[in-house]
Amino acid sequence: MVRHGFAVHPLAPGAKTPPPNCEACTAGAHQPQYCPCHAEHGWCHGFHAATTDLNTVQHWWSTQPGFGIGIACGPSRLVVIDVDAHTDRPPHRSRLLPGISIHDSVDLAGLSSGFDTLALLAAYRRRPNPCDDTSTLRVQTPSGGMHIWYRMPRHTPAFKSSSGSSKRTALAWQVDIRAANGYIVAPGTRTTAGVYQALPGTRIPAPLPLWLVAELTRTGHRTDAPAPSKPLAPISSRPGNAPRVLAALLKEVEDCGAVPEGAAFSEKLNRAAFTAGGLVQSGHLHGVETRQILIETATRARPHQPRRNAHIVETGMRAGSTRPIRPEERT
Ligand SMILES: [Zn+2]
Ligand SMILES: [Zn+2]
């Protein structure tokens, strides 16, 4: 899978869900993208840990050969149509294909699954049914559903995941979309329910057909990249000059951005994080926000090494927290 450039992550042995986080991350307040475990071969936060790095992948599967394989769709530029075959009672016809009204004259007797609604959508658009698309990778799921894998065409903005039962964003009843913020079980993975088995046809995802690009766009799946967040002002939980103490150190980190390498960046970031940890510990700064400011400042100066930045911030703050700082006592 990594061979194809897909970003993989472990699934708990026998399950279609990722293994649990470490204790610190279960209790922790950081956002998954800033997880310090990822720099140390940790698999915390499910698909957020996904990587194409062979060393990490080898480490994971030698630690636990029983892991299944998950693929993070976003970094792998995949869109997977997840067709369910649950035997639920269909909802009112107005909710089978969101945004498309199905005339009363259309006989819907026997419609019972995502296979039916997807076929209905394809027929309505006079396009071939994706479930029959042997030009792309299709995978049969243990519960009788089907995953139809597609690659995002070049220059197409990302799509987000959705559930077919969602009232907000959905393509069709019992058809889920696995995209930017989701993952998919790789073929060959075995769970207690059975094996995810590639179906006859090619094993390589084809580009997402343009009519499906249009359908996903129509149904609100576009996720245009969020605007970069503005740096938060340090928040002081008590009056004092803690924000000013930290600001001077952050400026040094920020200034490293003027040159792409060197400038003692790691040392400066570590010093800022260490001081921040001390100020948080003494109650002069808010921990979560301070961590975010450090990460954002580091990212602006060294955008190509997010995991390394997160690691320095985390270890620096942890070390600093053993030395509480009270800036107003300084002369
Ligand atoms: Zn962790
Ligand atoms: Zn974490």
Q: How far is the CA of 241 from the centre of ligand 2 (A)?
A: 30
Residues 6+ apart with CB under 8 A from 306: 33, 299
Q: How far is the CA of 224 from the centre of ligand 2 (A)?
A: 26
Q: How far is the CA of 39 from the centre of ligand 1 (A)?
A: 10
Predicted local distance difference test score (pLDDT) of residue 81: 98
Predicted local distance difference test score (pLDDT) of residue 251: 87
Q: How far is the CA of 298 from the centre of ligand 2 (A)?
A: 18
Ligand number, closest to the Cα atom of 291? 2
Minimal CA–CA distance to 8: which of 73, 82, 66, 64? 73
Rg (CA), the chain: 24
Ligand number, closest to the Cα atom of 24? 1
Ligand number, closest to the Cα atom of 45? 2
Predicted local distance difference test score (pLDDT) of residue 227: 39
Predicted local distance difference test score (pLDDT) of residue 159: 95
Q: What is the pLDDT along the chain (331 residues), one digit of tens a residue?
A: 777 889 999 999 999 999 999 999 998 778 888 888 998 999 999 999 999 999 999 999 999 999 999 999 999 999 999 999 987 788 889 889 999 988 888 888 889 999 999 999 999 999 999 999 999 999 999 999 999 999 998 888 899 999 998 888 999 999 999 999 999 999 999 999 999 999 999 999 999 999 999 999 999 999 874 433 434 344 444 445 667 778 888 888 988 888 888 888 999 999 999 989 888 888 777 777 788 888 888 988 888 888 889 899 988 988 888 887 776 544 3
CB atoms within 10 A of CB 274: 22
The encoded tokens of residue 218 equal 């129509």
Q: How far is the CA of 306 from the centre of ligand 2 (A)?
A: 14
Ligand number, closest to the Cα atom of 307? 2
Ligand number, closest to the Cα atom of 35? 2
- Distance between CA atoms of residues 4 and 78, nearest Å: 12
Predicted local distance difference test score (pLDDT) of residue 126: 95
239-246 long-range contacts (CB < 8 A, ≥24 apart) are 240/284, 240/326, 240/327, 240/328, 241/327, 241/328, 242/279, 242/284, 242/285, 242/325, 242/327, 243/285, 244/327, 245/275, 245/279, 245/325, 245/327, 246/272, 246/275, 246/276, 246/279, 246/285, 246/290, 246/293
Predicted local distance difference test score (pLDDT) of residue 328: 56
Ligand number, closest to the Cα atom of 32? 2
